[in-house]
Amino acid sequence: MSFSPLIEQLITSLRCLPGVGPKSAQRMAMQLLERDRDGGRQLSEVLAAAMDGVGRCSQCRTFTEQDTCQLCLSVKRNRQLLCVVETPADVLAIEQAGGFNGCYFVLMGRLSPIDGVGPEQIGVDKLMALVQEQQVTEVIMATNPTVEGEATAYYIAEQLQSRGVIVSRIAHGVPLGGELEYIDGGTLAHALAGRKVIES
Amino acid sequence: MSFSPLIEQLITSLRCLPGVGPKSAQRMAMQLLERDRDGGRQLSEVLAAAMDGVGRCSQCRTFTEQDTCQLCLSVKRNRQLLCVVETPADVLAIEQAGGFNGCYFVLMGRLSPIDGVGPEQIGVDKLMALVQEQQVTEVIMATNPTVEGEATAYYIAEQLQSRGVIVSRIAHGVPLGGELEYIDGGTLAHALAGRKVIES
């Protein structure tokens, strides 16, 4: 015994969403059918439009439905400063923090030979071409502080340094508002090693 | 600064799903765009089909895309025993538990005058007609043990008793595997009041 075939299909399809198990998929299906059919219809339309319409920015590789994204088109951004991140969500996080006025390059992943992700998949060639084309003077590596993120940062840094470009890495240390007592050892060691002289 | 318009729309639309806040909607959108466009397309199609195709069973009011649901069509079920539940998910739960061989009637809600849900919205008229038509002899009230569920059960029981139908309520008490120490007072009081003689 189960729900009718169409409802079962809906529950199964909802499970393609991350973090949605059988119970929440069932709850979602019931909620849409009982109380929000218009919302469900709209979600269906937007999903179809986005799955087919969203491609990648021809310059920075982030997701966009245009040929070039708004940030790359903006005349207010400093094209000689490039920040390399793993995902489009990272671009948003840095933009929301404010204070960065350069352009971005989105790897759409990180080097991970085990999963078959090499330099080609994360667009290293495209990055090198962009650096040359825009006469970039500094590249900030803002990949995640994971083993793979670090490896990616150092691989790209090596490639760029041989072309005479300044490469920097975002600072790692104790987050603002964090309490030393609860910070992991790796981060603390980083924070100590990366200490700065307080200038008088 | 935000994502491109189409991606923003996708994130907003995903929030119509229960339990999905801004951060998980963003994660879902990114996951679909990055790794599962086929899944997204399929979800879109099934959603559209379900939102327009799923109606209610002409007999028991549960969700189905046919005129009458599989359970109501089955010749193996006892039509003179009717179990009244609040939602289609409750039907599934009882079926999965096994042991019940009658038919169902799904209220699709519970009496809640504050939210404008009266006897008409939960189909009490339809229930009365079904009881007469199928010559039902016993109706089991399996609404939830909440204030509204209890009120609904007693309202419907009154209506049915005046027509000479036996009405029963599912038992409430200590769940199997539960430990008395951790059971709430209301449930314990119910379990004591509803005690049964152990027959020798």
A47 to A30, A39, A41, A50, A52: CA distances (angstroms) = 19, 12, 10, 5, 9
Token pair 């729900």 is found at A3
Contact check, Cβ <8 Å, B4/A63:
yes
pLDDT at A119 over 90: yes
How far is CA B47 from each of CA A14, A110, A133, B62, rounded to the nearest angstrom?
Answer: 9, 33, 45, 18
Residue A129, chain B, CB below 8 Å: the answer is no
In whole angstroms, give the CA distance from residue B61 to residue B58.
Answer: 6
Given a contact cutoff of 8 angstroms between Cβ atoms, the answer to whether A81 and A102 are in contact is yes
CA A12 from centroid of its chain's CA atoms: 28
- What residues in B contact A10, CB-CB < 8 Å? 46-47, 50
Q: Using only C-alpha atoms, what is the Rg of chain B?
A: 22
A49/B4 Cβ within 8 A: no
The arithmetic mean of pLDDT across residues B99-126, rounded, is: 93
* Beta-carbon separation of A50 and B10 below 8 A: yes
Instruction: Assign domain A5-53 to a CATH class.
Output: mainly alpha
CB contacts of A101 in chain B (<8 Å) are: none
- Give domain A63-169's CATH architecture: 3-Layer(aba) Sandwich (3.40)
Of the candidates A15, A42, A36, the one whose C-alpha atom is nearest the C-alpha of residue B18 is A36
Domains A5-53 and A63-169 share a fold: no
With a cut of 80, say whether residue A1 has pLDDT above it.
Answer: no
User: Are B167 and B189 contacting, i.e. CB atoms less than 8 angstroms apart?
Assistant: no
Please return the burial class of A173, using the count of CB atoms within 10 Å of its CB with bins 0-12, 13-18 and 19+: middle
| Beta carbons of B168 and B147 less than 8 angstroms apart | no
- For an interface test with A, the pick among B3, B8, B13, B47 (most A C-beta atoms closer than 10 Å) comes out as B47
Shortest alpha-carbon distance between residue A4 and chain B (Å)? 6
- Is residue A47 within 8 A of residue B41, CB to CB? The reply is yes
CA distance B195 to chain A (A): 33
Q: Is the ipTM of this complex over 0.90?
A: no
Report helix, strand or coil for A85.
strand
DSSP A42: H
Q: What is the largest CA-CA distance in chain A?
A: 76
Task: Identify which of A1, A26, A40 has the shortest CB distance to residue B89.
Answer: A26
Q: Point out the residue among A5, A36, A41 whose CB comes nearest to the CB of B48.
A: A41
User: Residues B89-115, buried b or exposed e (16+ Cβ, 10 A)?
Assistant: bbbbebeeeeebebbbbbbbbbbeeee
Res. B127: pLDDT tops 80: yes
> Using 50, 70 and 90 to split pLDDT, how confident is the model at B1?
low
Q: What is the pLDDT of residue B25?
A: 95
Average of per-residue pLDDT across B56-62: 93
A122 SS3 class: coil
Contact A45 B44 (CB under 8 A): yes
CA dist A30 and A24 (Å) reads: 10
Closest Cα in chain A, distance from residue B84 (Å): 17
Mean pLDDT along residues A75-100? 92
Q: What is the pLDDT of residue A127?
A: 95
Backbone angles phi, psi at A81, to 5 degrees: -120, 120
Whether the per-residue pLDDT at A63 is higher than 80: the answer is yes
Q: Which residues on A lie below 8 Å from B7 (Cβ)?
A: 50, 54, 63-65, 88
Query: Per-residue confidence at B198, pLDDT binned at 50, 70, 90?
Result: confident
Report yes or no: A64 and A57 within 8 Å, Cβ to Cβ.
yes
Task: Domain ranges for chain B, please list them.
Answer: 77-169, 173-200
Nearest CA in chain B to A45: B44
Which listed CATH number (3.40.1360.10, 3.40.50.1100, 3.40.50.620, 3.40.50.300) goes with B77-169? 3.40.1360.10
Question: Which site among A46, A59, A96, A100 would you substitute to test the B interface, given the most B Cβ atoms closer than 10 Å to its Cβ?
Answer: A46
- Please measure the distance between the N-terminal and C-terminal CA atoms of chain A and give it in whole angstroms: 76
Q: Is the pLDDT of residue B200 over 90?
A: no
CA distance A188 to chain B (A): 28
Question: pLDDT for A26-39, tens place per residue?
Answer: 999 999 998 899 99
Does residue B28 carry a pLDDT above 70? yes
Strand partners, B106: B85
| Residue with the two structure tokens 């790359």 | A72
- Which residues, numbered 54 to 83 in chain A, qualify as contacts with chain B under a Cβ-Cβ cut-off of 8 Å? 54, 63-66, 69-71
Nearest-CB residue to B6 (from A30, A50, A88): A50
* Contact list, B69 vs chain A (CB under 8 Å): 4
- Residue for token digits 């006025």? A101
From residue B7, alpha-carbon distances to A35, A55, A189, B3, B31 in Å are 25, 11, 39, 6, 12
- Chain A residue at shortest CA distance from B97: A1
